[in-house]
Structure 1
Amino acid sequence: MTIRRPRDLESERAALRAAADRLLAGTPLRSASGKLTASELLRESALRRDVAYGDHKDLVEEFQARVKAQRCTPSAMQELADEVAALKKRLAAVTEELAKERTLTAALRRITAELDLELHQAREELELSGNVARLPTPRRQASRR
């Protein structure tokens, strides 16, 4: 048989109030999203739904009224949203710059290939024409001495 301990209603109310204050301040401890909803209030307070709505419904409704009165996101959440927006802008700019660099690199590779081909063709033409005598390179001269 399970023995039930008497519940401490005041500590439950204090937990709900503290959770509401943390959520409204934008500094949640247990809530991952920090949204200003009743579900997040319960997650933040670590109380069961039946306990909160059974004995402390007034505190849940008070939290919902404070959220409506605030009509804005918590400052910490707003800072994060601003940072995300700035990072998205920066990412878009870097992505655009990368696309330009890739286009330029591809053009330079094509130009390099064309110039290499022209150089090989010019060398072959020089070898085939008997009019031009090749001069020895400095390395060959050094090795003859």
Structure 2
Amino acid sequence: MTIRRPRDLEAERAALRAAAERLLAGTPLRSTSGKLTAFELLRESGLRRDVAYGDHKDLVEEFQARAKAQHCTPAATQELADQKAELNKKLADATEALAKERAVTAALRRIIAELDLELDQAREELGQSGNVTRLPAPRRRPARR
């Protein structure tokens, strides 16, 4: 048999109020998006849906009304959205630059392979023709002391 501990309704209400204030101020602790929705309120408060809507529906509705009256995104959330847009642009620029560099690298690899083949052919032709005599490598003099 499991023992149920009694729920503290005042603590639950305090958690909902604190979560609502944090979301409206734009400083969420648990919410990843910071959106002013009932789902994010529940996530921020840490309460289950059935608890919030069963015993504290008035607080959820109050939060929804305050969020609707605000008519804007909290400043902290807007800053995060701006940073995300800036980082997405940087990522797109870096991706484009990387694609260009990969194209250049591929072209250079083809050129190197072609030049290597030409060098091998030139060495082979040079070895087959008897007209060219190779000179010995120059001798190095010992260093003076």
The reply to whether TM is greater than 0.5 is: yes
Task: Find the aligned partners of 1:6 and 1:101 in 2 and give their Cα distance.
Answer: 62
Task: Find the aligned partners of 1:126 and 1:5 in 2 and give their Cα distance.
Answer: 97
The answer as to whether partners of 2:36 and 2:67 remain within 8 angstroms in 1 is yes
The answer as to whether partners of 2:23 and 2:41 remain within 8 angstroms in 1 is yes
Partner of 1:15: 15
Q: Which runs of 5+ in 2 are unaligned?
A: none
Q: State whether structure 2 residue 77 is matched by structure 1 residue 85.
A: no
Task: Find the aligned partners of 1:26 and 1:102 in 2 and give their Cα distance.
Answer: 42
Task: Find the aligned partners of 1:4 and 1:115 in 2 and give their Cα distance.
Answer: 81
Give the 3 Å change call, closer, same or farther, for CA 58–112 of structure 1 in structure 2: same
Q: Which is helix-richer, 1 or 2?
A: 1
CA RMSD of aligned residues (A): 2.8
Task: Find the aligned partners of 1:132 and 1:7 in 2 and give their Cα distance.
Answer: 101
Task: Find the aligned partners of 2:79 and 2:61 in 1 and give their Cα distance.
Answer: 27
- Cα deviation, 1:68-103, whole Å, max 9, x if unaligned, reads 111222222222222222121111111111111111
State the one-letter code of the partner of 1:40.
Answer: E
Secondary structure at the aligned position of 2:65 is classed as helix
Q: How many residues align?
A: 140
Q: How do residues 22-37 of structure 1 correspond to structure 2 at under 5 angstroms?
A: 22-37=22-37
Q: State whether structure 2 residue 114 is matched by structure 1 residue 117.
A: no
Give the 3 Å change call, closer, same or farther, for CA 25–39 of structure 1 in structure 2: same
Identity within the alignment, %:
75
Task: Find the aligned partners of 1:132 and 1:56 in 2 and give their Cα distance.
Answer: 99
The answer as to whether partners of 2:33 and 2:77 remain within 8 angstroms in 1 is no
Task: Find the aligned partners of 2:19 and 2:115 in 1 and give their Cα distance.
Answer: 71
Give the 3 Å change call, closer, same or farther, for CA 121–45 of structure 1 in structure 2: closer
Q: Which runs of 5+ in 1 are unaligned?
A: none
